[in-house]
Structure 1
Amino acid sequence: MATAGGAATVHKAGHASPAAEEEVRRAEERRFAALVNEDIDTFDELCDDRFIYTHSTGHRDSKSSFSAACRSGLIRYHRIEATAEQIVLAGDCAVVTGSMEAELSVSGAPRTVRNLSTSVWVREAGAWKLLASQLTAAQA
């Protein structure tokens, strides 16, 4: 089961509201659940068309290349546990920092990853869209 949550320290700039923080937190939860459930249509809906995903290996994917890898089974998420440790709201932008542990398969080979994460969300036309996500391998 995908989870996202945990304690968050929120710093607000401009006119951000607690409701905006909760919307971003729910969007993060939906993103991880969509990946575990192989619901790539929902994942695509949550992402901005300009989405860039920087993996902990340094490889970068666009929205279309990452979604294609998930649809083809090249990347399969079996479990994701994510914690949003801080959500920084600045107008229509939210930066979420935290940690993520996942069990996945890449080209059929099982992997377990433990990462620090940074995600950038933007609100356009009233909806939060994931613009960028970057993972950094956590030190053991």
Structure 2
Amino acid sequence: MKTILTLALFFSLTIAFAQAEKEVSSQVEKLRLALIDPTVANLSELSSIHLSYGHSSGKLENQAQFIEALVSGASDFATVEFQDQTIQLEKNLAIVRHNLAADVLDGGIANSIKIGVILVWHKEKGDWKLIARQAYKLPQ
């Protein structure tokens, strides 16, 4: 009987973990699409009001600055691809790592970038929200 209860607990935890990983992965994909087609609504829905958004240049933004930069076109992504993504879950936190490959327009000038990114998602009132992001330069 104890073995059956242990197995039942193991399977229920495995299912819960898989569900949480699927939810986080879905949010990350929504973020990728929002970088290409940003609106105040979609970026607000994905991010926490406590957001700390770090760029590979060292520039830091809060939620309002992050949203404004994308919606205004100051950060203008033509394409975005997330490569080699991993998701690590711990209770109501998720750490996502990937490489971001993108075509961007900087002042109307096309540029291709590839940077490393770590995202921290926090489950707030049943929804996964981006609470922290840090980009970094990859070794050449």
Q: Above 0.5 in TM-score? A: yes
Larger radius of gyration: 2
Unaligned runs of 5+ in 1: 1-14
Read off the aligned partner of 1:29 and give its amino acid letter.
E
In structure 1, C-alpha distance between the alignment counterparts of 2:30 and 2:134, rounded to whole Å: 18
**Residue aligning to 1:19:** 19
Unaligned runs of 5+ in 2: 1-12
Q: CA deviation at 1:108?
A: 2.8
How does 1:106-117 map onto structure 2 within 5 Å?
106-117=106-117
Percent identity of equivalent pairs: 27
TM-score, normalised on structure 1? 0.83
- Deviation per residue, 1:8-57 (Å, 9 max, x gap): xxxxxxx6611000100010000010110233420221000011111111
TM-score, normalised on structure 2? 0.83
More helix per residue? 2
Query: How large is the Cα RMSD of the aligned pairs?
Result: 1.5
In structure 2, C-alpha distance between the alignment counterparts of 1:54 and 1:111, rounded to whole Å: 20
1:18 to 1:44, Cα distance in 2 relative to 1, 3 A: same
**Residue aligning to 2:5:** none
Q: CA deviation at 1:101?
A: 0.6
Q: Is the 8 A contact 1:53 1:63 kept in 2?
A: yes
**Residue aligning to 1:133:** 133
Question: Larger relative CO (CA 8 A, sep 6+): 1 or 2?
Answer: 1
